[in-house]
Structures are given as structure tokens and as C-alpha cells.
Amino acid sequence: MLSFEENEQLVRTGPGTPMGTLMRRYWIPALFSTSLPEPDCAPVRVKLLNEKLVAFRDTDGRIGLFDERCPHRNASMFFGRNEENGLRCVYHGWKFDIEGNCVDMPSEPPESNFKRKVKIESYPCMERGGVVWAYMGPAELKPAFPELEWTLVPESHRFATRHIQECNWLQAFEGGFDTSHVSFLHRGDVPAGGDRVLPQRYEVLPKEFGFVSAAGRAGKPGELNWMANVMFMPFHKLISRHGGPDAAIGAHAWVPVDDENCMIYSIEYHPERPLREKEMERSKNWRYIHAEPIPGTDRTVANRSNDYLINRGVQKSGKSFTGMPGFGVQDCGIQESMGSISDRTREHLGRSDTVVIRLRRQLLEALNSMAQGLPLPGMRPESYRVRSAGFTLPESESFESSVDDFIRADARAPEAA
């Protein structure tokens, strides 16, 4: 349980809010690169951290990300003309380059220097891993890009989708680290494996990049099977690795759109080899079935308006604990059911909520560090070079002293900026 004030601090991400200010210190996924397929293509609307924005690719292929409102008289730049290295507002023709400089102001007399005084709010962007990332914080505090492994592998090694979840980012993010729900919410859809058994031990280890959380479940006598998830600041996860060292790795990012919606990026990748058709099929059909977007939108086929296609017969039969189709839908449906913004003042947290409690503490501590001007976690790009893992240890062996050997990653050098 959190106080009302703590909850408010964590869930609000608009400009000037504590969490909004913290998130603006990190690179934020804004859209897929494929949404801006070629130079001078149509601009797209983007909403990030409660800000309405417009993204476009200029004549040289560079990305611009603007406040949606033209600084002249607030017309939407979405309707703008994307032409010759700039986006031109169609109301009175003011044109801006990707840095937000006004490069043409045809509505004013030619001798006027007014255009030199006007800028449109713009955010620097870079493309990594098929995603356009934005930095929305103070220029002097801009960090180097985090070396998330899925952004460093070749395109053939990665498969990504995204969809909107209609609730606050934090309850969705917490769901990603809620260890015990897998044994219930997803029962029936979990492939054969240890996740059906309740964990015996929980571990959360703070790290430079965020934390590693793990659940240890009983294996052979005297052994524990550990599933270790990785949390990267401020909203990333690597899902514990099932199926041995050659298994693909799943990743998510829960990006606030506004306080009542978040965009979930779901990535499957392999560090060393191209993904197999079968692995992409798994990503599409097994885990995210019906969490696929309705074509042309980020909204999912199963959603609040159709009760997530719940099938009461399947629920009753026990083939699926929920009767909802697929992991993604189950998570989405149940997390949205907690309310647009979950009221954490009325919770009753138990031992199985250990990781959720620690996740909140980690974020509150980061807010505290920021308020005091102390260094923030996750600012050193190389610190992100770890992987999630699944491994077995003798019961007597310390998780803490062993885990680093399993999560170390040999990522490639970053691509050129």
C-alpha cells in the first residue's frame, strides 16, 4: 500500500510532475521507425508523457519531433506539409526544421527578423532497434543511449509489436514484475514448466541499471529453479529466459502515453542469431494472441469494449484460468480492471508482492535522488548490457553471489548514431 501522495508521485508523468521529470531524463520509445517509412512522408501524431506531439522524417531522413501546436496560433502541425527539410504549417505557412528553428515565415514582410525569434518546441530523437527514441529532458542532462541488447542486434534477430493498454503505466509495469500472478492469471496458457508452482523464495537485487528480481521454485530435491527478470530504468523489462541458453529473450517497455493509457512495446530477440519463424510465431500467436492491434491502430482486438473476448465456458472448464485468450490479453484485461489509475491506498500486500513493493521503492528512491541532485540509476549506457536468465542452484547457494554470472551479456558495439 502507498499513501495517496506517494501514489500520485509515481503515476503522474506530465511536464513538471516528479515522475514526469524523472522519465524525461531517459530516452523514451516514441514510435516504430517503420511508421515514418521514407523521407518527406506523412507526419504522424505521437502522444508521450501527456504531451501531444508530431513526428516526421525530413528530406535527409532525419527525425523531427515537435509539439503538435504551431507556435504562431496553435494550429496542428499534423496537417503540415513535409517538404525540403522542414515541416510547414498549412495555416499561414510557417516552416520549421527538425531542431525547431523557424526557417520560413512567408506571412511576414521579407525584411522582418521575427522568424529568428520563434521556435517550435522540439525533442532530439535517435533510431535504435527499429524504434524512434526521444529525449524530452534538459539538454545539458541528456544521457548517452542505453545499450539495451535488443536495440543492438541486427534486424533479423528481433521481432517487435506494440499495443495500447487503457490504464496508467505503473500498474501495467508492476504487472510485469508481479511474480505470483503467473501461477494464476496465466494458468492454462503457461507452457510446461516451473511457473505453475508457487515460488519458495523471492529476491530483488538493486543494480546500477535498475534491479534483478527472481523467484526460486522447488526443483529436484535440494535445488531451486530461479527465473531472473531484469528491470531497467525507467520502465523496461527483460523476461526471465525459458528454455536454455539458445532460447530467445522477451523484452517489454511500458511507455506512458498519458496518465490513463500506456504503450506496451513487446520484443522477442536473440543475441547471437536470427529469430526462427517458429519463435516469431510464438510471439505472435501464443503470447500475444488477440493482443495484436486492430490493423492501422494500436488498439487490440480483445479490449475493454468486448470484455477481452472472455469465454466463460473455457473459464469453467479450467483449460484457461481466466477464459481470456492469451497472455497479453489476460494482463491487459485484469490490469485495466484495477481502474484507470489504481488506488494503492486500499491495497493489502503480502509476501508474494515483494517485487512490486521493491519496484515502487526503487522508483521513489530515484525520485528522491533526483530531488537531491544525486546521480540517477541507469545513466551509464554500458550498465544495460545484461540479460535475463533462468538457472538452477543448490538450495544452499546464495542467489546474490551467483546471479551476475548468469545475466552477463556480450552485446555488440553500438551502431553509429
What sign results for the dihedral spanned by CA atoms 353, 356, 359, 360? negative
Q: Among 195-203, 326-334, 345-353, 384-392, which window interacts with Fe ion (CB under 5 A)?
A: 326-334
**Which residues on neighbouring strands pair with residue 263, listed in sequence order?**
164, 255
- DSSP-assigned beta bridge partners for residue 224: 218, 393
Report the C-alpha gap between 83 and 85 in whole angstroms.
6
Q: Near Fe ion by CB under 5 A, which window of 284-292, 329-337, 354-362, 406-414?
A: 329-337
376 closest CA partner among 137, 65, 30, 48: 137
How many beta carbons lie within 10 A of that of residue 347, not counting itself? 14
**321 is in the binding site of which of ligand FES, Fe ion, none (Cβ under 5 to 8 A by kind)?**
none
Cell numbers standing for residue 131 = 524504434
CB of 57 to ligand FES, least distance (A): 20
The binder of Fe ion chosen from 331, 335, 354, 377 (CB under 5 A)? 331
- For ligand FES, the binding residues in 33-72 under the rule CB under 6 A are 70, 72
Binding of residue 182 to ligand FES (CB under 6 A): no
Among 410, 399, 366, 386, smallest CA distance to 205 is for: 399
Q: Which residue is nearest to Fe ion (CB)?
A: 331
If binding is defined by CB under 5 A, does position 174 make contact with Fe ion?
no
What is the contact mask toward ligand FES in residues 69 to 88, using x (rule: CB under 6 A)? -x-xx-x-------------
Select from 14-22, 66-74, 323-331, 400-408 the region that touches Fe ion (CB under 5 A): 323-331
- What lies within 8 Å, CB to CB, of 140 at 6+ separation is none
Do residues 212 and 231 make contact, with C-beta atoms less than 8 angstroms apart? yes
Question: Minimum CB separation from Fe ion for residue 197, in Å?
Answer: 16
In the complex with Fe ion, the residue whose CB is nearer, 94 or 235, is: 235
Q: Are 110 and 85 in contact (CB under 8 A)?
A: no
- The alpha carbon of residue 341 and the mean position of all alpha carbons in its chain are separated, in whole angstroms, by 18
Least distance to ligand FES from the beta carbon of 36, Å?
Answer: 21
Chosen from Fe ion, ligand FES, none, partner binding at 331 (C-beta under 5 to 8 Å by type): Fe ion
In whole angstroms, the minimum distance from the beta carbon of 76 to ligand FES comes to 9
Q: Would you count residue 259 as binding Fe ion (CB under 5 A)?
A: no
How big is the site for Fe ion, counted in residues (CB under 5 A)?
A: 1
User: In angstroms, rounded to a whole number, what is the distance separating the alpha carbons of residues 377 and 347?
Assistant: 28
Cell of 380: 551509464
| Residues found near ligand FES in the complex (CB under 6 A) | 70, 72-73, 75, 89, 91-94
